Amino acid sequence: MIEVKNLTKRYGNTYAIHNISFTVKDGEVVGFLGPNGAGKSTTMNILTGYLSATEGKAIIGGFDILEQPNQAKQRMGYLPEVPPLYLDMAVEEYLNFLYELKRVDLARGPHIKEICDLVKISHVYKRLIKNLSKGYRQRVGIAQAMLGNPEVLILDEPTVGLDPSQIIEIRRLIKKLGEKHTVILSSHMLQEVQAICDRVIVMNNGRLVADGTTEELSKLLLDNRKVILRVDGPKAEIHKLLQGIPNVEAVNYIGMKDGIPEFSVEAKEGTDVRKQIFLRLAERQWPILIMKPTEMTLEDIFMSLTGDGKKRRVKS
Ligand code: ADP
Ligand code: MG
């Protein structure tokens, strides 16, 4: 288990992170989601002992990262934002070098082979790292993190800079690793944490703004309160009809799309007006060509989560 208590990191007068607390249970796959500058890397660097906190504690499997760093570090493998690769080394040399550096006590040959098979780099084992694609370099970075078979893997933006097919491969790999490890990964991409993680911790401006299951976050994102509507009929009359539906708070005419008027309709919090929209328009024989929830962007989510400036649990 990982326990983070009131972590704060200050640079002069600015806070990189501010009073962050959370726990991660064994076997969980947790995503840190947040835009650039949110404090994800800072939190990970403190967790892994690369950076000291101004205040607060991080405890890994019962060991305080400051007081018992060796025991704590043995339990974690870390892939930093910029993987620490030596480009002029072959994969083989690099992994053997790190095996020694980390003083791993598992039988060398079988252990390294097992990792290489798992992350699928066995066929490039003799190649120089500089001659590998970015996707393969990232695999080597993950292999490095797995030396010593740590319980916890901490992966900082593991898919950044990869092309779409490499992203899919790395996500698949991380999901697989999640079956046997506790994983914390960071990302600024919503779909990524949704695709990989059981739980999401949302960070913004150095603060933890939400913590909940991926399902809870998805519900929050699918905001049926605000729908986009394209209706084949007379613009002004449709507008008026929509405004007259109970619980509709605002109707905005967006414009003509392919000669058909499009609106956004916002309902009162906690209500869903879609059925009424359908029934009323059907009465008038104005067919709905499109009705879809507006997609919340990451920015919208942060706005809604940080609106009251407090941490809250993700609940729809
Ligand atoms: P993320 O990984 O979510 O993009 P970071 O943890 O890298 O965010 O950064 C969080 C904040 O801390 C940013 O505003 C960044 O500018 C600031 N920060 C990080 N490192 C330093 C540093 N060495 N000196 C001053 N400010 C820093
Ligand atoms: Mg970062």
Q: Is the CB of 36 under 6 A from ligand 1?
A: yes
The angle formed by the CA atoms of residues 119, 120 and 121, to the nearest 5 degrees, is: 100
pLDDT in tens, the chain (316 residues): 999 999 999 999 999 999 999 999 999 999 999 988 999 999 999 999 999 999 999 999 999 999 999 999 999 999 999 888 999 999 999 999 999 999 999 999 999 999 999 999 999 999 999 999 999 999 999 999 999 999 999 999 999 989 999 999 999 999 999 999 999 999 998 889 988 999 999 999 999 988 988 888 777 666 678 899 999 999 999 999 999 999 999 999 999 999 999 999 999 988 889 999 999 999 999 999 999 988 666 666 666 665 544 444 443 3
Q: With respect to CATH, is domain 223-293 assigned 3.30.70.260?
A: no
Give the integer Cα–Cα distance in Å for 259 and 63: 65
Pocket test for ligand 1, best of 8, 9, 11, 185 (most atoms within 8 A of CB): 11
Structural contact between residues 135 and 170, judged by C-beta atoms closer than 8 angstroms: yes
Question: What are the start and end residues of each CATH 3.30.70.3100 domain in the chain?
Answer: 223-293
For residue 244, count CB atoms less than 10 angstroms from its CB and return exposed for 0-12, middle for 13-18, buried for 19 or more. exposed
Sequence ranges of the chain with CATH classification 3.40.50.300: 2-219
Q: Cα separation of 90 and 136, whole Å?
A: 12
Closest listed residue to residue 291, CA positions, set 281, 300, 305, 302: 281
Q: Which CATH architecture has domain 2-219?
A: 3-Layer(aba) Sandwich (3.40)
Ligand nearest to the CA of 160: 2
The residue nearest atom 19 of ligand 1, judged by CA position, is 16
d(CA 35, CA 152): 24
pLDDT at 226: 86
**pLDDT given at position 191:** 84
Q: 83: closest CA among 180, 154, 166?
A: 154
**The amino acid at 160:** V
CA trace torsion 31, 32, 36, 42 (10° rounding): -130
How many Å apart are CA 189 and CA 202, to the nearest integer? 11
- Res 309: pLDDT: 40
- The pLDDT, as a whole number, for residue 214 is 84
**Quick one: tokens of 292?**
């879809």
Q: Is the CB of 42 within 6 Å of ligand 1?
A: yes
pLDDT of 269 reads: 83
pTM of the model: 0.81
Separation of CA 137 and ligand 2 centre (Å):
18
Q: For ligand 2, a single-atom ion, which residues have Cβ within 5 Å?
A: 40-41, 81
Determine if ligand 1 sits within 6 Å of the CB of residue 80: no
Q: Three-state DSSP class for 57?
A: strand
